[in-house]
């Protein structure tokens, strides 16, 4: 809508060819995409949390850890926060670039993140998990680079996840070395 200033009354009728405000359908679509993105991301986190819960006591807690390793209680809230950020990033990518390679990479990184959890905690193969984490980091960086032109916000939301993967790789390598 725009104001027609050419008439003395200054009517609020739309001017032919003037841009119109987005309709409610766009807003509802965005909300639905947001809910789906968050649900998908949190589902992957929940599956990973179940795997970690079953492997924690019999395996992970009995490994030698570096002195700088965070305490065990840190991982669950951190994983939840990171997956919320990843879900929000997926929403921005989906809304701004549906069908883009950034969206495809976002889905792939979710699978790779769960893959690391399966390899490290589920199958107890930290060497494979470290190699897989390197691929995960590359895919996250590729997602950020391909999302950048469409949504700088999505790229920014993925930065903490990339930093966490680097920390995770460092911890993973230290566990390999110590055990």
User: Is 51 within a domain?
Assistant: yes
User: Is 167 within a domain?
Assistant: yes
Per-residue confidence band for 26, with pLDDT thresholds at 50, 70 and 90: low
User: Is 11 within a domain?
Assistant: no
The answer to whether the beta carbons of residues 161 and 82 sit under 8 Å apart is: yes
Predicted TM-score of the model (pTM) = 0.83
Which token pair is 137? Answer: 């980091």
pLDDT of residue 24: 55
Percent of the chain with pLDDT over 70: 85
The per-residue pLDDT for range 122-149, each reduced to its tens digit, is 999 999 999 999 999 999 999 999 999 9
* Range list of H helices, 21-151: 24-56, 75-96, 101-117, 126-147
3-class SS of residue 10: coil
For residue 32, the enclosing domain spans 24-178
User: Is 5 within a domain?
Assistant: no
Q: Cβ contacts of residue 152 below 8 Å, gap of 6+?
A: none
User: Is 144 within a domain?
Assistant: yes
The per-residue pLDDT for range 3-21, each reduced to its tens digit, is 444 544 544 444 455 455 5
Cα(140)–Cα(151) distance, rounded to whole angstroms?
Answer: 15
User: Is 9 within a domain?
Assistant: no
Question: How many structural domains compose the chain?
Answer: 1
First-to-last alpha carbon distance for the chain, in angstroms, is: 67
């Amino acid at each position: 809508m725009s104001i027609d200033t050419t008439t003395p009354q200054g009517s609020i009728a739309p001017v032919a060819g003037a841009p119109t405000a987005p309709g409610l359908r766009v807003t509802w679509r965005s909300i639905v995409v947001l809910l789906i993105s968050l649900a998908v991301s949190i589902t992957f986190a929940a599956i990973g949390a179940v795997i970690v819960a079953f492997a924690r006591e019999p395996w992970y807690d009995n490994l030698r850890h570096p002195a700088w390793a965070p305490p065990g209680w840190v991982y669950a809230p951190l994983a939840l926060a990171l997956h919320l950020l990843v879900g929000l990033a997926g929403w921005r990518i989906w809304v701004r670039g549906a069908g883009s390679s950034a969206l495809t990479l976002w889905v792939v990184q979710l699978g790779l993140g769960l893959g690391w959890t399966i390899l490290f905690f589920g199958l107890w193969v930290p060497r494979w998990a470290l190699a897989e984490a390197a691929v995960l980091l590359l895919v996250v960086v590729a997602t950020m680079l391909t999302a950048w032109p469409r949504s700088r916000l999505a790229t920014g939301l993925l930065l903490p996840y990339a930093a966490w993967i680097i920390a995770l790789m460092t911890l993973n390598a230290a566990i390999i070395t110590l055990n």
